[in-house]
Structures are given as structure tokens and as C-alpha cells.
Amino acid sequence: MSHIQQTQVTAPDVMKHLGQRYGPVEWEHRYDPASELVYTILSQHTSDINSERAFNSLMARFGSVEGVASAPVDEIEDAIRMGGLARVKAPRIKAILDQIAQDVGSFDLSFLGELPLDEAKDWLKALPGVGPKTAAIVLCFALGMPAMPVDTHIYRVSKRLGLIDQRTNAERAHDILEPMVASEDVFAFHMYLIRHGRDTCKAQLPRCDECVLSWGCAWFNAG
């Protein structure tokens, strides 16, 4: 008895079809690596609007990452209060900046861009409270390195499409998704999956009838 194998979406399919839907994506420098690290901590478990407000408030209060590093934790907490979870994030920011100052002697982390990707990731993950997602965001957005941050949208869409196994955890997903495309395409791959998760493959009521990848989506074809 013959079996017809269901065609399944691959990473190149994502690049092709979502690229056609959303258009080209160009990398743009956002912050220096140390500032990106602080911003990323502030962005955890809150909206982009709130995290940006908190970061801007922090920089307005202390002027620079160096100023934040020398500030008392309670003053950092007060400056970032509008971002949410200030009592958790303030001591985390302080601990990370203290560790960087101790290890590097400054807050210039541009040297990470000269390291092999895995070494740069390991260096960042050795900082207190820094995991794979935070490390990848810093390397990707501050230094333009081919690191693949996996947020909730990417994790959900990747599992639905079948790019990663349903049992794969978010931490492991970074290592699986990142090498699926050429290094020069990692940033666009990241951005396309986020955009698709926000616009079409929503957590609740996904718009499968509008999806350009439903033909090979494991979740959709499983009914």
C-alpha cells in the first residue's frame, strides 16, 4: 500500500514565502552591546512600549550604562518602575553590570563581535541571569552577528510549522533554528517568523485561511 507523504514547510520555504509577503528585511544597529543587554532585561515580560519607556527613563536619569552601574539598586528600581517587575530587574541589571566591570574593566563589549559566535554566546551566558535568548538578542541587534533569538512568537510558529519538535523547549530551539538558514539570512528568518506570529499565526484564533504556509504546516494539516 503506497503512502503519500505530506509536504512540510522548511526554513527556505519560510524565507521565500514570508519574504514575498512581508518584503525585504534590513539589519539596523540599535544600541551598543552593554546598552542592548540592559534594554533586553527591561523587555522581559513586558510590552515593547513599556520596556522602551523604562530604558529611556534609565538613560535620562543616569546618562549612560556607566552611570547606571554606579547607581544604587533602589534608584535603578525607581527609574524603571513603569516597565514592570522593577524589583526583580533592578538588582539583575546591577549584578550584570558589576560583573562586566569586573571582567572587562569597562562597558565596551565590542570585542564580542570578534569572537566566534559560540564563544560570544558563552561569554554572555556566564553573566548572572543571562540565557540563550538574551545573549542572542545582544549579538544579533547590537553586533549584527548571525544569532537567532527565539521569542514566544518564533517558538509557537516554529512548532506549528514543524520546524522544531513539539517536545523541544525554547532554550534548545535556538540551537536548532539558527543553522537552518545561511548566516546572512538569520536576521531576516528571525524577523519573518516574529511578523508571521503577530500578524497571522496568532496564539489565539490563528488566521490559517490567510497563511501562505498552511499548505505545509504540520499543525494545520493535523487538523
* Residue recorded with cell 501562505: 212
**Cell digits for 136?**
542572542
- Return the CATH number of the domain spanning residue range 33-143: 1.10.340.30
Percent of the chain with pLDDT over 90: 89
pLDDT for residue 6 is more than 60: no
Helix H segments across the chain? 11-22, 33-43, 48-62, 65-69, 73-79, 86-104, 117-125, 132-137, 143, 152-161, 170-177, 186-199, 218-221
Average pLDDT, integer, range 29-48: 94
Report how far residue 95's alpha carbon sits from residue 89's, in angstroms, rounded to the nearest whole number: 10
CB-neighbour burial class of residue 9 (10 A; exposed 0-12, middle 13-18, buried 19+): buried
pLDDT at residue 188 in the model: 97
C-alpha of 121 from chain center? 13
- Domain range summary for the chain, segments of one domain joined by +: 11-25+149-221, 33-143
11-25+149-221 has CATH 2.60.120.10 classification: no
Helix 86-104 crosses helix 33-43 at what angle (to 10 degrees)? 160
Report how far residue 131's alpha carbon sits from residue 108's, in angstroms, rounded to the nearest whole number: 20
CB-neighbour burial class of residue 42 (10 A; exposed 0-12, middle 13-18, buried 19+): buried
pLDDT at residue 92 in the model: 97
pLDDT at residue 1 in the model: 35
C-alpha of 116 from chain center? 19
Per-residue pLDDT band for 2 (boundaries 50, 70, 90) equals very low
Helix 33-43 crosses helix 48-62 at what angle (to 10 degrees)? 130
- The model's pTM: 0.91
More confident residue, 119 or 2: 119
Average pLDDT, integer, range 193-199: 97
C-alpha of 5 from chain center? 34
